[in-house]
Amino acid sequence: MKVIIAEKPSVGRELAKVFGATTRKDGYIEGKGYSFTWAFGHLLQLAPPQEYGYIGWRKEHLPMLPAKFKLSIRKVKTKDGFVEDPGVRKQLDIIKKLFDEATEIIVATDAGREGELIFRYIYYYLKCKKPFKRLWISSQTDEAIKDGFRNLKPGTDYDTLFNSAHARSQSDWLVGMNATQALSLSAGNRSVLSLGRVQTPTLAMICARFLENKNFVPQTFYQIAIQLDKDGQLFKAISVANFNTQPEAQAVFDKVQDVASGFATGGNITAVEAKPRKEPPPLLHDLSSLQQEGNKKNGFTADQTLNLLQNLYESKLVSYPRTGSRYIGDDVFATVPQLISTLTDHQLFGNQATFLQTATLNKRSVNAKKVTDHHAVLITGVKPYNLSKDHQAIYDMVAGRMLEAFHQECVKEITKITIESGSVFIANGTVIRSAGWRSVFNEVEDEKKDEENPALPKVKVGELLPIVNKALLEKQTKPKALYNEASLLKALETSGKEIEDEELRYAMKDSGLGTPATRAAIIETLLTREYIKREKRSLVPTQKGLAVYEVVKDKKIAQAELTGQWEKRLEEIRTGASVEEFKAEICEYTKTITQELLLAGIGISAQFAEAAV
DNA sequence: GCAAGGTC
């Protein structure tokens, strides 16, 4: 008998279905000479410090550098502290039984670094010696699955991938566990002051933005607004120049030839420009873009959106949620017309679904090369009923975005009129000529400028119009906004873009800071530690968070670039570079950061005592 | 008590 092990139940069941295996057992499915089983993500993790004899938090233990790492069963937090997850233990027992009976194992965990690690940790923990082959597919359609099984790879082809995964895992443990204990002990051991490759740069981003915002000195400047009349249609124009002082602005203001100053037609049209602008439809949603939208539209936290989406996934209403891709392959695209047809009676956008049934679908979101482990989030075509308000909101975001993504482009006409009257003024106007994808939600754009006219009248160069109103506006420059969940998620995704080094940036491109599956948890960790708090919709640091930031802000552990550097090395390991060299460097860095944090302690203990008040 | 990674 052959055993096929997937990363999660949904994939295991899908594979069984393709093979026609139907006998449901506890924790696996049997049939056609195969057993299909699954993990629930990582079942095993690197054992905590106490399992290497580092009992209690003590400076003498630091740095903790286990000679050989151990694995332990994933724990859950209960009221009696951390205990082995009983569900995980049970599934591991099932996997062990199946592995023992197996003639061969086929590894069908997700095609990536963590997928490889999930299987290998199980395999080594169970001390299994059976031969294994690797299924490597990037799409879950029947055809892709069958094709993958016809082309199984030798398990050892992925040894270097496992090496890179294991190095990632150990490095995070070494740096995170040691830095956390060092800082906590240093600061007087009053509370857990956690540090890590991902959470600390994230905290640093929030703190830096907060301080920049708080210390921002607004500059006053002046503008002049005028209102013109074209055959009864009024429109607004703003001075091209900004003025730093009131008298400067006043002098120009006085020269405006408005009706009240005795000029019947003092506005001279010197230029008219009108050009169409085409806006392609937005891409389908990945988890991060959905979390951003959930935050903007409904005020959901990243964690809430993930949970709601997970529920919809478990009810088979949407596809796999923790995806980082905003594309689908051609095979999935072939099912889109059918999915659209399930929405024709939707009360919000049923008419748009009906329209799309006969329209040519836009293929901007179709690109098999940009589909990684999982494709973009789609509805499944299963009809929802009786969803809670929040579940419905998320479902509609997925369904509505699908309609938008395959809809036509939106065509706008951008008009710019230049007027002279003592000084130069510009009137901007935007008219939607063809709404296209924007007709799905029919919402006003969020970045509408307040000085923008919806539509401008037809005017010609040389025309003279009456200026019926003028105003001197006093304005202030604004600081960058504080982070909220939406803007923070976006910043985590693209932190690579702010990195100068080309090669480092490339290594960051696909990873950013954290992964789609973990970003919500990172924000929650910072909240749990009381490093940050929610203030209305913003995320702001607490005194404690700022105190941690002050200690680490110039250290490598607080830089997003650290992840980029690691990713570059891990990719080299995947292609065969020495893992020992990298591990040695990580050990060195662990010693350095631990030492620095322990030394920092003398000065900072008092500061944390204050922050605790 | 602690990381980051995955998922019910």
User: Gap from A178 CA to B2 C1', in Å?
Assistant: 8
Residue A223 in tokens: 């503008």
Q: Total domain count for chain A?
A: 4
Domain co-membership, A387 together with A357 = yes
Domain co-membership, A22 together with A125 = yes
Q: How far is CA A571 from the centre of its chain?
A: 22
User: Gap from A259 CA to B5 C1', in Å?
Assistant: 69
* pLDDT for A148: 94
Whether A481 maps to a domain, the answer reads no
pLDDT digit string, tens, across residues A185-197: 999 998 999 999 9
pLDDT digit string, tens, across residues A124-137: 999 999 999 999 98
Whether A389 maps to a domain, the answer reads yes
User: Gap from A173 CA to B6 C1', in Å?
Assistant: 16
A177 CA: nearest nucleotide by C1':
B2
Whether A445 maps to a domain, the answer reads yes
Domain that holds residue A48: 2-151
Domain co-membership, A10 together with A102 = yes
Among all protein residues, pick the one whose CA is nearest to the C1' atom of B3.
A176
Domain co-membership, A59 together with A146 = yes
Nearest to A5 by CA among A89, A144, A119, A88: A119
Domain co-membership, A224 together with A211 = no
Active-site positions of A?
320
User: Gap from A178 CA to B3 C1', in Å?
Assistant: 9
Domain co-membership, A262 together with A340 = no
From A350, A383, A405, give the residue that closes a domain.
A405
A202 CA: nearest nucleotide by C1':
B4
From A476, A509, A526, give the residue that closes a domain.
A476
Domain co-membership, A47 together with A129 = yes
A179 CA: nearest nucleotide by C1':
B2
CB A485 within 8 A of CB A295: yes
The series of mean pLDDT values per 10 residues for chain A, 613 residues long, is: 95 94 96 96 96 96 96 90 92 97 96 96 97 88 88 96 97 98 94 96 96 96 94 93 93 93 93 93 94 95 96 94 91 94 95 96 91 89 94 97 97 93 92 93 69 82 94 94 93 71 59 88 96 96 95 95 93 95 97 94 68 59
Nearest to A399 by CA among A519, A279, A293: A293
Among all protein residues, pick the one whose CA is nearest to the C1' atom of B7.
A41
Among all protein residues, pick the one whose CA is nearest to the C1' atom of B2.
A177
Give the whole-angstrom CA distance, residue A193 versus residue A180.
6
Among all protein residues, pick the one whose CA is nearest to the C1' atom of B8.
A40
Domain co-membership, A534 together with A559 = yes
The CATH code of the domain that includes A96 is 3.40.50.140
Contacts 24+ apart (CB under 8 A), A453-457: A453/A235, A453/A236, A453/A427, A453/A428, A453/A429, A454/A429, A454/A430, A455/A429, A455/A431, A456/A235, A456/A415, A456/A417, A456/A427, A456/A429, A456/A431, A457/A230, A457/A231, A457/A233, A457/A235
A323 CA: nearest nucleotide by C1':
B6
> Could you say which nucleotides of strand B lie within 7 A of any protein CB atom?
1-8
The CATH code of the domain that includes A524 is 1.10.460.10
User: Gap from A468 CA to B8 C1', in Å?
Assistant: 66
Domain co-membership, A56 together with A103 = yes
Domain co-membership, A123 together with A140 = yes
* pLDDT for A373: 77
* pLDDT for A497: 61
Whether A280 maps to a domain, the answer reads no
